[in-house]
Structure 1
């Protein structure tokens, strides 16, 4: 019984010493401050973000960071939506250019237009 109490007390002293060493620095110099990890591939500031920018974007991992799968899923969705938006904008711009060309052609085809062969002289 005495031996058991001695082992319990010795274990408590060892645990206390280790705890004090870790928490209190153990008398040694404190650990140096570490600069926070920064994003390696920031988004381009001089042009709109495109799908390739989003797909190549990687966030730094921290001990209490994020779930990579969730962020990757969100970035994948964002990239797909940007690509869809860009394709829709290109279609609308093409349709607008076609409508403007057709309107210009109709306007020039009127007899009172100066460029029409039967226009005013």
Structure 2
């Protein structure tokens, strides 16, 4: 029984030495200081948002999921960009005398299914 206790004590001492050595050699593992409170690392370009920009967006994770203020900000920016692009498209169509095609576009691939589709 004493031999098992000696083995356990030696094992714990070796683990402590290895942990201390690893901590000294590799540090805490945080090369950058944490962001100040109220700031975020979530970024989007000021204009000309592309699909790659949206794919690259990272949100801070909190206890209940993602930080809602960051998600709201990204959705607002994407909405503004869509409004701007649709306004530019409408201006170009109006300048060239092309019909908006609102009725044709409403039945597109991303349109919500209607109850008539089931019948």
Q: Which has the higher helix share?
A: 1
Task: Note whether the superposition's TM-score is higher than 0.5.
Answer: no
**TM-score (normalised: structure 2):** 0.37
